């Protein structure tokens, strides 16, 4: 997620640059001013993103002070104006990410009205975090765990709006739970589980899309690929630690995973670090795996 202010007044390349191998990529915007969102959506389009998404789900205090995120669920009319401005500005898909409710505004009717008013603009894609957000009293971290999940409410939203694409977000810990949700919704968004145990995604092609060949790579091949990527990014001024900090969970569940995390944590931030840090860390896992076998 990047704010409109960061794009309009900051380093656009830093915020929007990505590698073509990552496509399709959608950029999520945070903002509440239709004109600013329209301009930002054009930048997103010009940088080659496959779509743009409006954040109506983040509950942090910093986001609320900027009048965007989950607090926008109380202003469906404004959200509709924002979506319309973005749609008029670009020809890539425009979508919305939201919660099932906020504070005391958490009735099923309120969610239905919110989605319905936005859908009148022609927006057809919604990702719904199946927890309400408490804008007062809970931290962002607590808002990811404390409010109970209510998948049934999202399911009823989909049943009432078969013409809309409704994706489920929140509490999906493995591909089995994703498959179960896909029996009734159009998509799933996996956040923390994909970040903490990213190797779960290696089975997506086989289990979700029916690709019998599946993923033929192993974790060490991925590490080698990421070492090359880290060196490429370093040539653009990106520190190696900015790559490795997101790779801590790659070997979770294998002997040596702790050594992998420790090595990356202590070595990637050092001056002159290169992609070899990743290769050396991966070798620690290989040795530990061999020893246990």
DSSP bridge partners of 165: 125
The helix, strand and coil proportions of the chain, stated in percent and rounded to the nearest 5, come to 50, 10, 40
* Residues shown for the chain: 293
**Choosing from 27, 56, 58, 98, which is the catalytic residue?**
58
d(CA 126, CA 165): 6
d(CA 29, CA 1): 6
| Catalytic site includes residue 58 | yes
B/e letters for 209-240, b = 16+ CB within 10 Å, e = fewer, are eeeeeeeeeebbebbbebbebbeebbeeeeeb
CA-closest candidate to residue 61, choices 114, 135, 161, 126: 135
Catalytic residue numbers, as ranges: 58
């Amino acid at each position: 997620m990047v704010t409109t202010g960061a794009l309009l007044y900051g380093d656009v390349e830093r915020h929007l640059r990505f590698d073509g191998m990552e496509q399709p990529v959608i950029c999520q915007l945070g903002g509440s001013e239709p004109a600013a969102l329209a301009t930002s959506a054009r930048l997103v389009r010009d940088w080659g993103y496959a779509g743009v998404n409006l954040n109506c789900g983040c509950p942090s205090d910093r986001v609320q002070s900027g009048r965007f995120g989950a607090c926008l669920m109380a202003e469906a009319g404004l959200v509709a104006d924002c979506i319309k401005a973005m749609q008029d500005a670009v020809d890539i898909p425009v979508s919305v990410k939201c919660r099932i409710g906020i504070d005391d505004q958490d009735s099923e009717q309120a969610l239905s009205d919110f989605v319905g008013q936005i859908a009148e603009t022609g927006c057809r894609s919604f990702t719904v975090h199946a927890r309400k957000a408490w804008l007062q009293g809970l931290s962002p971290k607590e808002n990811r765990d404390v409010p109970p999940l209510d998948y049934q409410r999202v399911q009823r939203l989909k049943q009432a709006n078969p013409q809309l694409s409704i994706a489920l977000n929140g509490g999906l810990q493995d591909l089995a739970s994703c498959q179960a949700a896909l029996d009734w919704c159009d998509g799933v968004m996996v956040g923390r589980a994909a970040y903490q145990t990213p190797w779960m995604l290696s089975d997506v092609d086989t289990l979700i899309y029916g690709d019998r060949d599946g993923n033929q790579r192993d974790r060490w091949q991925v590490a080698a690929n990421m070492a090359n990527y880290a060196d490429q990014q370093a040539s653009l001024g990106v520190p190696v630690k900015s790559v490795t900090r997101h790779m801590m969970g790659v070997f979770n569940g294998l002997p040596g995973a702790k050594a992998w995390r420790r090595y990356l944590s202590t070595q990637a931030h050092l001056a002159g670090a290169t992609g070899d840090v990743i290769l050396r860390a991966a070798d620690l896992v290989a040795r530990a795996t061999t020893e246990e076998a």
